[in-house]
Amino acid sequence: MGKLQEFDASFTDNKVVYGPGESLSGCVRITVGGSLQYKAIRVSCLGSCGISSKMNDPSWTMEEQYFNSTLSLADKGILCAGEHKFSFQFLIPASAPTSFEGPFGKISYRIKAIIDTPRFSKDYKLQKPFYLLNLLNLNEVPDIEQASAAVTTKKFNYLLVKTGTLMLKSQTDLRGYIPGQIIQLATEIHNKSGKDTGNVLASLIQKVTYKMKRPLFDLRTIAEVEGAGVKGGKHAEWREQIIVPPLPQSLLHGCSLIDIEYYIQVSLKSPDAMVTLPVYIGNVAINMSPLRPAPYPPSQQGPAPALSDPGQVVPSAPPAEEEPDSDLGAGGLVSEEIPTKSHSQQDATGHTPSTFDHAFSMSSPHGQYNPTNASAPLFCLSTGATIPFFTEGSAPPVPTACPLILPPEYSSCDYPSEPPPTYEESCSSANSSFNT
């Protein structure tokens, strides 16, 4: 760098995560070995979003800017040999969205400094990123304490001449969660046929929409739980839990180009039946009312509790009319527990981490619980559960020590995927039949 020995920028108290409306301050440090002439020394604070139809493409198809402020630190002069410091301060707009990085776009914030030198000489530039966390308070989402529930009925043919009916009903205990919390999932399957069903699969899915002329959907399976099938003529209940890993929050208030959604998908492959349960991932947990009964513990023995009042169930497809099935015997009224076959969040010993285990591991990269950071909002920058995430405050970036094992199909798509079926599409296919 010739005469320039050091050119760097730092934030006050090494803080890297800020909130909307906060003041961002720091200093630019310049060390020169000899006299350095300059026309201006400036620092800018920038925030923007860009998206592209190509993966990891730096040339954005569409962009939007949230702020771009420039401060002049010095006007035309000479830097003498030695160290020089210039302070700066900016106010972050209250409408700026949370930082995000995905394969097809990102919301990024940075400080940019420049030493503008005379003509025919070299300008010196540097950039320093910082991150923004615009908290999603789940208590501000309407009906967030209610269960997310759905039901569908499937009428199908088997053995060419026989007809069967299957009802799949599922619900979560809440509609919103924060990282480290457990999603309690309860599912009922009424198999009113003589044919055994395939395995039941529950998945926590992230859907990121990049809003271009042709919207691009990036779908990711975050966690999976698989249960056994249900024998013909049986009624079975399945209870499972999914721990929410560090994930970007639902929605991105202030951003019009990227949208983030989450849902639980419960499905059977034989017969082909599926329900989707929308859920929110936020930063501030739901304040539970003391009058609300606690969700049932997943390890509780004995018969599973019944699902909530059917009046609260939102159908993903209208129920088909049930007809008497001559193949149903006395076993048609027997209720069974569905055993779990696999869980993507189990460790090598087959143990599913508890809420405490998960929160403990996230609080410190070395597994040392620090109570001073326990209540700090958790911040996940990108779409994955294994990328760095940060705690709010003056601490430098800390990579997560999350022990979760993601399923093999956890990956980005390199081509636009189709979103889940709409309510109308579910209704139109509710009574479709298949042959085996």
Structure tokens at 330: 């006395």
The answer to whether residue 352 sits within a structural domain is: no
Q: How confident is the model at residue 372 (pLDDT cuts 50, 70, 90)?
A: very low
Final residue of a domain: which of 106, 132, 158? 132
Task: State the pLDDT at residue 352.
Answer: 60
Task: State the pLDDT at residue 358.
Answer: 40
Task: State the pLDDT at residue 32.
Answer: 93
User: pLDDT tens digit string along 255-311?
Assistant: 999 999 999 999 998 899 999 999 999 999 998 654 343 444 433 434 444 444 434
CATH of the domain at 155: 2.60.40.640
Shared-domain flag, residues 66 and 183: no
User: pLDDT tens digit string along 138-183?
Assistant: 999 999 989 999 999 999 888 878 888 999 999 999 999 999 999 9
DSSP per-residue codes, 353-408: P-HHHHHHHHH-TTS---TTSTTSPEEE-BSSSSS-EEESBSPPPB---------T
The answer to whether residue 77 sits within a structural domain is: yes
Q: Which residue, among 394, 353, 286, has the nearest Cα to 22 in the 3D structure?
A: 394
Q: How confident is the model at residue 250 (pLDDT cuts 50, 70, 90)?
A: very high
Shared-domain flag, residues 127 and 35: yes
Shared-domain flag, residues 189 and 226: yes
Shared-domain flag, residues 128 and 144: no
Task: State the pLDDT at residue 267.
Answer: 94
Task: State the pLDDT at residue 111.
Answer: 97
Distance CA 374, CA 372 (A): 6
- The dihedral of CA 95, 96, 97, 98: what is its sign? negative
φ, ψ of residue 171 in degrees (nearest 5): -155, 155
Q: Which residue, among 126, 131, 132, 129, has the nearest Cα to 86 in the 3D structure?
A: 126
Shared-domain flag, residues 94 and 191: no
The answer to whether residue 328 sits within a structural domain is: yes
Task: State the pLDDT at residue 3.
Answer: 82
The answer to whether residue 395 sits within a structural domain is: no
| Mean predicted confidence (pLDDT) in 415-422 | 44
pLDDT above 70 covers what percent of the chain?
Answer: 68
The overall average pLDDT reported for the chain is: 76
Shared-domain flag, residues 12 and 49: yes
Q: State yes or no: pLDDT of 388 exceeds 90.
A: no
Task: State the pLDDT at residue 380.
Answer: 76
Structure tokens at 217: 């959907």
Shared-domain flag, residues 183 and 99: no
Range of the domain at 104: 4-132
- Domain count of the fold of the chain: 2
Task: State the pLDDT at residue 350.
Answer: 60
| Mean predicted confidence (pLDDT) in 95-124 | 90
The answer to whether residue 179 sits within a structural domain is: yes
Shared-domain flag, residues 300 and 166: yes
Least reliable range by pLDDT among 7-16, 195-204, 375-384: 375-384
Task: State the pLDDT at residue 431.
Answer: 42
Final residue of a domain: which of 86, 114, 132? 132
List CB contacts of 33: < 8 A, sequence separation 6 or more: 3, 4, 5, 81
Task: State the pLDDT at residue 166.
Answer: 93
Q: State yes or no: pLDDT of 48 exceeds 90.
A: yes
The answer to whether residue 375 sits within a structural domain is: no
Final residue of a domain: which of 108, 132, 156? 132
The pTM (predicted TM-score) of the whole model is: 0.73
Structure tokens at 59: 């040339």
Shared-domain flag, residues 120 and 178: no
Distance CA 225, CA 238 (A): 11
User: pLDDT tens digit string along 192-228?
Assistant: 998 999 999 999 999 999 999 899 999 999 999 999 9
The answer to whether residue 389 sits within a structural domain is: no
Task: State the pLDDT at residue 353.
Answer: 56
Shared-domain flag, residues 125 and 198: no
Q: How confident is the model at residue 57 (pLDDT cuts 50, 70, 90)?
A: confident
List CB contacts of 365: < 8 A, sequence separation 6 or more: 398, 399, 400, 401
Shared-domain flag, residues 44 and 63: yes
Task: State the pLDDT at residue 198.
Answer: 92
The answer to whether residue 380 sits within a structural domain is: no
Shared-domain flag, residues 30 and 159: no
Task: State the pLDDT at residue 347.
Answer: 61
